[in-house]
Chain A
Amino acid sequence: TQLLEQSPQFLSIQEGENLTVYCNSSSVFSSLQWYRQEPGEGPVLLVTVVTGGEVKKLKRLTFQFGDARKDSSLHITAAQPGDTGLYLCAGVGGTYKYIFGTGTRLKVLA
């Protein structure tokens, strides 16, 4: 069974701080996605990384896919209260079968 472990599970920080969320697996994925989910809504896709070692930036968010395509990280610079939410990584296997990570619940305090 493929598992994706995220760390930390919970994170509460002050506005302006930086943070990194990790997503680790023993399995290789063809690609990996990051989502943010807010209460009462479905997950919203932030990014898809495909190539080992790939780095993508989305404003203050930096995503990296591990060289072996087994892990990924999400770094947020100067966090803002609007970044609050549940962050989920999802490894993609064959035929768009997504395995979701355990989730990181982020709270950014003003």
Chain B
Amino acid sequence: SAVISQKPSRDICQRGTSLTIQCQVDSQVTMMFWYRQQPGQSLTLIATANQGSEATYESGFVIDKFPISRPNLTFSTLTVSNMSPEDSSIYLCSVAPGYFGPGTRLTVL
């Protein structure tokens, strides 16, 4: 199994600012995934992050809005840029086969 931690656990941000979310895994993994869970909704995959290459984004998500870093096999960051209230969600990182971090609850005012 994998233990995943995320920082921060929650934050309240002002419109137009950016927030970087960190994800740390207790073992080396090839692929890490970032998901968004809007209030009361299911999970939507934002992107897949592989170490040493650019992230692969899903339809509706772009690198300028959600830049991702993957500097090594245990760590990744997701930045939510130029935030608006519509970005208020829980952001989760994940590794196969089905391990999730506790999530970062973001509220944008």
**A-B pairs with beta carbons under 8 A, tally:** 53
Q: Contact: A96 with B101, CB < 8 Å?
A: no
What is the size category of the interface that chain B forms with chain A? Answer: 20 to 34
- Give the residues from 33 to 52 in chain B that come closer than 8 angstroms, CB to CB, to chain A: 33, 35, 41-45, 48
B92 within 8 A of A: yes
Centre residue among B35, B42, B97, B99 by max chain A CB count within 10 A: B42
Q: Is the interface of B mostly helix, strand, loop or mixed?
A: strand
Residue interface mask A94-109, B partner, CB < 8 A = 1 = 0111111111000000
Besides A41-B103, A42-B100, A98-B98, 20 new A-B residue pairs in contact (Cβ under 8 A), listed by A number: A33-B98, A42-B92, A42-B103, A43-B100, A45-B97, A45-B98, A45-B99, A88-B42, A90-B43, A90-B98, A95-B48, A96-B31, A96-B33, A97-B45, A97-B48, A98-B43, A100-B42, A100-B45, A101-B42, A103-B42
Point out residues on B near A: beta carbons under 8 Å: 4, 31, 33, 35, 41-45, 48, 59, 92, 94, 96-103, 105
